[in-house]
Amino acid sequence: MIRQIYEKNGGNDMMDQLVIGILAHVDAGKTTLTEAMLYTSGQLRKLGRVDHGDAFLDTDEQERRRGITIFSKQALLPLPTAEVTILDTPGHVDFSGEMERTLQVLDGAVLVVSAAAGVQAHTLTVWRLLRQWGIPVFLFVNKMDAPGVDRAALLAQLREKLDGGCVDFSAGEESLWEEAATGSEAALGEYLDTGRLSRDTLCRLIARREIFPCWFGSALKLQGVEELLTGLEEYAPRPAYPAEFSARVFKISRDGQGQRLTFLKVTGGVLHVKDVLTGTSAGEAWEEKADQLRRYSGEKFKSLEEAPAGTVCAVTGLTRTFPGQGLGAAEDAPPPSLTPALSYRLYLPEEVDPALAMGKLRQLEEEDPLLRLLWNERLREIHVQLMGEIQLEILRELIERRFGWAVTFGTGSIVYRETIANTVEGVGHYEPLRHYAEVRLLLEPGERGSGLAFRSLCPEDDLDRSWQRLILTHLMEKPHLGVLTGSPITDMRITLTAGRGHLKHTEGGDFRQATYRAVRQ
């Protein structure tokens, strides 16, 4: 049986490392499917149930009580030739910040669609993000045990609403070859010549997102789960990594003892315990030691001596890291495309000093990229910006549990944004006595929802590369406010076209001033 094969191979350090995310609309059955995958592969002796509050991955107290996943979690799943890290991500839109940043480290994704509900609006949001990050997708149509489901109609819906390249992989090899072959010309040639498609060809089509394999089943009844596992084993892309060390931070959280955990994926070379890591956060360079490397599965972890490329682990001892940060040879990732939509005033109990509280609450902001805390110095008020009411409720409980403050919130208001209707140039000069900097920017309107994109087209002969990078950093380091309503600007592309410094009179901060002025103009 497949269980025994999996058990024999568990824990081999030489195996390929794969990071697979489980994504879906809330209630489609992600957590149940993850449990079923772990159980089928012999990692769990007993099947937990979200409905009974004992799911392996819903470890947080609020998650167990509400029966929903709030924080992304990981589990280890050994397949015969690869060790898979499964990341179970939250499905509710309120927590899509968690989801979006885990996308940064995925080698592939399992998208769960409920047969009872079909493709939902959130499924489309997830699909768009998966496309944006170029992630190969395996589809699992869950809840096929529900009455009245129609498999052919569901496949047709996937093809129409998601992508014409959705191929039923449970239908048998002959028909899957035929369907997959229409995905590309080369594959069609191979099919016509040989009457089949090799495993390599299928892997390549999947890795390039030309086809999307689909399985149908029921996580609750353990139907189709083994086929999905075999499919991942056979077809999930096996990335090759460079020898130079690099890593991507995708999440910050705290363990039961309050220790700060930096979750990262090693994307090149090897990370050893006690390695000294360097990075730049908020414009300042730092150097810190990786005290402990933890490989989590559910609530438990194993300490690692070293983490080779492809591994996801939690590192202790780092205090300055942030989600999206690149360490070693990796660059920082672009900021998330989703941004909080609602704003609420936060009321603290009277005996708590708001300025002091703000310092502590920053911890939570660091852990959730779609939570923003604003401090109004003049009114001594704290405002929170987030995605919706569920997130607000979770935040209230989290603050109570972690800091012991019973907080309340005012009525919500919408967080407005500003953009431009037309292309415009902005020029900023900064030249008080013995200072000099000039920055020219081209601002172009972008697609709705695209956020801000930055680049430079300035020749290096005109302005040194290091100054150019500094200007781009200043563009990215804070939200810039528009001039119409004072709301943060969004949906535009900002290009550095020219800039000038002075050999003697330009100092580090001068370009910051000139950059801000160019945007404002």
Which residues make up the interface to Mg ion (CB under 5 A)? 30-31, 69
Q: Tell me the CA distances in angstroms from 375 to 221, 378, 486, one per residue in order.
A: 50, 9, 16
Could you write out the DSSP letters of every residue in 41-107? TTS-SS---GGGT--SS--SHHHHHHTS--S-EEEEEEETTEEEEEEE---SGGGHHHHHHHHTT-S
Residue 100 touches which of ligand GDP, Mg ion, none (CB < 5 to 8 A by kind)? none
Closest CB 296 distance from Mg ion, rounded Å = 17
Nearer to ligand GDP, 40 or 468 (CB): 40
Out of ligand GDP, Mg ion, none, what residue 79 binds, judged by CB under 5 to 8 A for its kind, is: none
**Bridge-based pairing state of the strands 73-79 and 82-88:** antiparallel
Q: CB of residue 29 vs Mg ion: minimum separation in angstroms?
A: 8
Q: Which of 34, 45, 43 is nearest to 7 (CA)?
A: 43
> Quick check: helix, strand or coil at residue 187?
helix
How many of the other CB atoms lie within 10 Å of CB of 287? 9
User: Which phi and psi (to 5°) does residue 493 adopt?
Assistant: -105, 130
DSSP character at residue 21: E
The entry of ligand GDP, Mg ion, none that residue 51 binds, CB within 5 to 8 Å by partner kind? ligand GDP
Pick 74 or 513: Cβ nearer ligand GDP: 74
Least distance between Mg ion and beta carbon 156 (Å): 27
Question: Rounded to the nearest 10 degrees, what angle do helices 30-40 and 225-235 cross at?
Answer: 80
Q: Which does 398 bind (CB under 5 to 8 A by kind): Mg ion, ligand GDP, none?
A: none
Greatest alpha-carbon pair distance for the chain in Å reads 79
Classified as helix, coil or strand, 163 is coil
Residue 35: CB atoms within 10 Å: 29
**Least Cβ distance, residue 406 to Mg ion (angstroms):** 28
Whether the CB-CB separation of 515 and 474 falls below 8 Å is answered with yes
Nearer to ligand GDP, 61 or 464 (CB): 61
Q: Among ligand GDP, Mg ion, none, what binds residue 29 when CB lies within 5 to 8 Å by partner kind?
A: ligand GDP
Q: Which is nearer to Mg ion, 39 or 430 (CB)?
A: 39
Q: Which is nearer to Mg ion, 31 or 43 (CB)?
A: 31
Cβ nearer to Mg ion, comparing 29 with 482: 29
Closer residue to ligand GDP (CB): 64 or 500? 64
Residue nearer to ligand GDP on the CB measure, 153 or 329: 153
Contact 189/216 with Cβ under 8 angstroms? no
Q: What is the smallest separation between the CB atom of 90 and ligand GDP, expressed in angstroms?
A: 8
Q: Which does 28 bind (CB under 5 to 8 A by kind): ligand GDP, Mg ion, none?
A: ligand GDP
Min separation Cβ 116 and ligand GDP, Å = 7
Contact of residue 27 among Mg ion, ligand GDP, none (CB under 5-8 Å per partner type): ligand GDP
- Residue 376 · residue 358 · CB < 8 Å: no
Binding site for ligand GDP (CB under 6 A): 24, 26-32, 50-51, 67-69, 91, 142-143, 145-146, 218-220
Q: Which of 287, 281, 271 is nearest to 321 (CA)?
A: 281
> What's the min distance (Å) between Cβ of 393 and Mg ion?
17
Nearest approach in angstroms of CB 297 to Mg ion is: 17
Interatomic CA distance for residues 512 and 437, integer angstroms: 9
Q: Which does 346 bind (CB under 5 to 8 A by kind): ligand GDP, Mg ion, none?
A: none
